[in-house]
Homo-oligomer: A and B are copies of this chain.
Amino acid sequence: MTTPVDRPHLDTEQFRRQAHEIVDWMADYLRDVGSRPVQPTAEPGAVRAALPAAPPLAGEPFEQIMADFERIIVPGLTHWGHPGFLAYFPANTSPPSILAEMLTATIGAQCMSWNTSPAATELEQVTMEWLRQMAGLSAEFTGVIQDTASTATLVAMVTARDQALGRLDGSTAGRLDLLTAYTTLEANHSVPKGMRLAGIRPGHIRMVETGPENAMRPEALRLMINADRAAGLVPAAVVATVGTTGSTAIDPVPAIAAICREETVWLHVDAAWAGSAAIVPELRWVFDGVDDADSVVFNPHKWLLVNFDCSAYFVKDRAALLGSFGASAEILRTAHDDRVVNYRDWGIQLGRRFRALKLWFVIRSYGVEGLRAMIREHVRLGRLLAEWIEGEPGFELIAPATLGLVVFRYVGHADGKREVRRESFDAMNRTLQNRVNATGRVFITGTSLRGNYVLRVALGHLSTSEADVGAAWELIRTAARAH
């Protein structure tokens, strides 16, 4: 047998040694990440400048690559697994999930069809069914793993679009430009983006009015749909949010679903972050009415300890989904096609990673009760922080901290600064945020809510303890006092 290419890295014993070395780096990193600055301080371009402008012609030794990784890359990372990372939404790793990712990378299975990896397809069926049960969703829903909620929402919008187009005929046949879609300004920016990408005209994407709690007003939705119909337009899709990024607002899904059903409009529920809470019996209310929707997405990679990417998309009308995304090509056809699921027909991508494995490792490692305990603890920590904020002069809680997301702002101390204008409040909170983040001990983000700039603390890390939340709050209070 010839050894045709000089391939030192195919040596599996060398790989074994290197991988063991990397495992020690990984365990040390997980143990010590809290002692690193949560965000890097380097200026844009610093990492780039430290790297060669052209690729190396000859291979380089592993030790050199790892040394550069530690010297150039790691100090330039924002550490999503840092206990002080309270920005955006929680990070997405846990030990069992990382272990599963190691196996996934090694196996390298391409999970487009049942045939291209039967166990991967069937494990996806099983774990998605587990998730459905855990979240208490109707058995009418079938699940499929998408990479992100952005993708899942686009998938929902394309399906909704095709369903609406399918009902047009005569002079309006194929007139995608007549379709309209509805959401609110509080929806994640991937929602209007998904509508746009699906081909809904930007001018036909309606932002439905929200009430004082930042949730969609169903009566406003109904008026908009009526007005659009009267103008000869074709309402195709509504996206309701369960747990907005800005303030945990929950659109009233039961009332919205009733309208959608009456109007034959596809209802997609974006519960990307908050949906995981439904696995906790006393929080199952977050999914009230969702059984009457057409599709729903939530991200185990946000709040169920599964590594990004793993987004759980549930849909009722499987034929509609396959009608939009199914495709057949001779090379993909297999003997078992009538008896199996080919997930390539359930989304955008032909190629698919073996994502079910990490979901399986995580659910089994923690058990449903372990995951519930974690979510309950985050909710408890959120309420605790909210209490501290409410008890602190100069601070305002902006929305109830129902699910571990705490939204607040600083309005100045009782020395008269309270009289400042809105722009000054905004500036004050941006300054406060920058000051807190500059410590390198926590990372919080702000957002715009009903025209005001507000701050957010998103709890959801496996590693964030009450002491960490207390320390973060102390930093915030101290920074405010220094104002």
- Residues from 113 to 136 in A contacting B, C-beta threshold 8 Å: 114-120, 122-123, 125-126, 129-131, 133-134
Say whether A116 contacts B78, CB under 8 Å: yes
Query: Using Cβ atoms and an 8 Å threshold, which residues of chain B touch A421?
Result: none
Cβ-defined partner of A103 (8 Å) among B7, B69, B92, B130: B69
Q: Which of A46-54, A209-217, A259-267 contacts B (4 or more CB under 8 A)?
A: A46-54
Q: Which of B5, B154, B203, B351 contacts A348 (CB 8 A)?
A: B154
CB-based contact A353/B308 at 8 Å: yes
A282, CB-defined interface residue at 8 Å: no
Which residues of chain B come closer than 8 Å to A150, judged between CB atoms? 348-351
Contacts of A361 in B (CB 8 A): 65
With both beta carbons as reference points, the residue of chain B lying nearest to A112 in the complex is identified as B88
A377 touches B4 (CB 8 A): yes
CB-CB under 8 A from A203, the residues of chain B are 174
Give the residues in chain B near A245, CB-CB below 8 Å. Answer: 329, 331
Selected contact of A108 from candidates B19, B92, B108, B330, CB within 8 Å: B92
Q: Which of B59, B74, B103, B329 contacts A367 (CB 8 A)?
A: B59
* Contact of A2 (CB < 8 Å), options: B199, B445, B466: B466
Residues from chain B with a CB closer than 8 A to the CB of A30 are 12, 15, 106
A188 to B327, CA, bound (A): 11
Among A94-102, A248-256, A283-291, A473-481, the stretch that binds chain B is A94-102
- Give Cα distance in the complex from A363 to B65, angstroms: 10
Contact A31 B12 (CB under 8 A): yes
Would B327 and A72 count as touching, CB distance under 8 A? no
Q: Evaluate contact between A373 and B109: CB separation under 8 angstroms.
A: no
- B377 & A5 in contact (Cβ 8 Å cutoff): yes
Given A29-B106, A108-B92, the answer on whether A367 and B57 have CB atoms closer than 8 Å is: yes
A229 at the B interface (CB under 8 A): no
Contact with B along A287-326 (1 / 0, CB 8 A): 0000000000000010000011100000000000000110
Bitwise interface map of A from 338 to 362 toward B, beta carbon under 8 Å scored 1, else 0: 0110000000111101000100110
B309 pairs with A76, CB closer than 8 A: no
Q: Which residues of B contact A175 (CB under 8 A)?
A: 175, 177
- Of chain B, the residue at the smallest CB distance from A449 is B330
Output the least CB separation between A273 and chain B (Å): 11
Compute how far the CA of A339 lies from the CA of B331 in the bound complex, rounded to whole angstroms: 45
CB contact under 8 A between A102 and B57, given known A116-B78, A308-B110: no
**Chain B CB within 8 A of A190 CB:** yes
Question: Closest CB-CB distance, A477 to chain B, in whole Å?
Answer: 19
Return chain B residues, CB-CB under 8 Å to A118. Answer: 40, 42, 44, 46-47, 76-78
Q: Is A193 an interface residue (CB 8 A)?
A: yes
A420 at the interface (CB under 8 A from B): no
Which residue in B29, B102, B115 is a CB contact (below 8 Å) of A107? B29
Complex CA distance for A62 and B4, rounded to whole angstroms: 40
Question: How far, in whole Å, are A367 and B7 apart by their CA atoms in the complex?
Answer: 11
Q: Is A336 an interface residue (CB 8 A)?
A: yes
A246 contacts chain B at the CB level, 8 A cutoff:
yes
Question: What's the minimum C-beta distance from A124 to chain B, rounded to whole angstroms?
Answer: 10
A5 to chain B: which residues have CB within 8 Å?
370, 373-374, 377
A424 at the interface (CB under 8 A from B): no
Interface centre among A5, A14, A97 (most CB of B within 10 A): A5
Given contacts A15-B98, A60-B367, 12 further A-B contacts (CB under 8 A): A2-B465, A2-B466, A26-B106, A44-B336, A56-B367, A57-B368, A59-B370, A72-B119, A77-B107, A148-B349, A193-B325, A197-B348
